[in-house]
Amino acid sequence: EVGKVVEDHFLKLGRPLSEDEKPIFKSLIIPTKSEANTIFGGSMVQDESSSKIPIVIEELAFSEKEENNAVEVQLQAGCGLTLGREGVAILALIANMAYNSAFSQLRTKEQLGYLVSATTRTGSGGGYALSVGVQSSTTLPAELENRIEAWLITFRNELVEMSEERIGMEAAAVVAQLRERDMKLADEVGSFWSEILLTETLSEKLKEPAYDRKEKMAEFLTLRDDNDGDPEADNGEKAFTAAELKQKILDFFDKHFSAESPDRRAISSRVYGQKGKEVFLANIGKPGYLSNYDDIRHMKQFMSSWPTVPY
């Protein structure tokens, strides 16, 4: 009887969604500092410690007993189409190196808080960013942002001083992760299913899942020997030497993550513990501070989205 009800009221009445009815998720393009200046009419976030991040989302912790503050700084690099496999691979390599550097500096040396992370953040609509997060019970969010900015400078210096041998080791570690075999059936199904979902909402011409995506990324990070400078040596069309990869890493960093870059797209999300409530309340209504749903809706009206075409 139950089966008949399901069949009559659901199965017989159901139909596949048309292309126009399928939900499409998009990643919004975070404004650059210049673009944010235009949006807010020539005025942006003004406090010294966060002046390099023009847009800040703020929230007060719900619990009255919450003592922790938290910050996540997102540095958006682009989408699959604009970055390509090479850009996505380089971002993955930078994030892999950034994690240990951020933990060592912000957690171990500066002891800002117990939780410190640096990782790649992928938006549901195909956007890619470097995400740096810190949780602290002793330091307010604005100062945490200041320390993250200082760490970015330190991290770049580490990249400059990093030997080609070390670059090769870091790249090899990421390649090993990308080529790691699925040990369980659930892992294998998950890998294939995630690729299917990436193209499910696209047009028929783009619907073929890229099951070899990770392998293609690994190819860009598989280094070749320099063959004593012989340009005629055949080492693979897409492979780099360690020196070439290092330069690409620095160029990528300077364009997308450096505070001085006009192309940097940065946004900060702050959560205040109850001890920082007065600071949170004082920032409400200031240009560049998004403290409620209406502020965020207003901001989104000025933001375009990244293409959903995968790399």
Residue type, 168: G
Does 12 map to a domain? no
What are 84-95's pLDDT values in tens digits?
989 999 999 999
**Looking at the predicted structure, is the pLDDT value of residue 181 above 60?**
yes
Residue 153, domain member (yes or no)? yes
Distance between CA 131 and CA 117 in Å, rounded?
Answer: 8
Q: Identify the residue whose tokens are 């719900």.
A: 62
CA distances (Å), origin 301, targets 5, 27, 125: 45, 14, 17
Q: Which residues contact 188 (CB under 8 A, 6 or more apart)?
A: 182
Backbone angles phi, psi at 147, to 5 degrees: -70, -35
In a domain, residue 11? The reply is no
- Is position 24 within any domain? no
What percentage of the chain carries pLDDT values higher than 70?
91
Please give the tally of structural domains in the chain.
1
> Hey, what are 206's tokens?
């783009």
* Cβ pair 7, 28 in contact under 8 A: no
Residue whose pair of structure tokens reads 């990070």 in the numeric block: 221
* Domain boundaries, position 290: 31-300
> 3-state DSSP call for residue 28?
strand
Residue 199 reports pLDDT greater than 80: no
Instruction: Say if residue 310's pLDDT is above 80.
Output: no
For residue 197, being part of any structural domain is answered with yes
Give the span between the Cα atoms of 307 and 31, in whole angstroms: 16
pLDDT at 48: 47
With contact defined as beta carbons under 8 Å apart, do 24 and 200 qualify?
no
In a domain, 114, yes or no: yes
The CATH number of the domain holding residue 194 is: 3.30.830.10
Q: 99-154: per-residue pLDDT in tens?
A: 999 999 999 999 998 899 999 998 878 899 999 999 999 999 999 999 999 999 99
Q: What is the pLDDT of residue 46?
A: 55
Q: Parallel, antiparallel, or unpaired: how do β-strands 265-272 and 69-79 relate?
A: antiparallel
Asked whether residue 22 is domain-assigned, the answer is: no
The pLDDT value recorded for residue 189 is: 87
Contact yes or no for 91/311 (Cβ under 8 A): no
pLDDT in the model for residue 51: 61
Q: Which residues contact 194 (CB under 8 A, 6 or more apart)?
A: none
Burial of 122 (0-12, 13-18, 19+ CB in 10 A): middle
Asked, for residue 132, whether it belongs to a domain, the answer is yes
- Region 12-33: what's the mean pLDDT? 82
Res 237 pLDDT > 60: no
What are 28-67's pLDDT values in tens digits? Answer: 999 999 898 888 776 555 554 446 898 999 999 999 999 9
Whether the per-residue pLDDT at 197 is higher than 90: the answer is no
Q: Which helix (H) or strand (E) holds 252?
A: helix 242-256
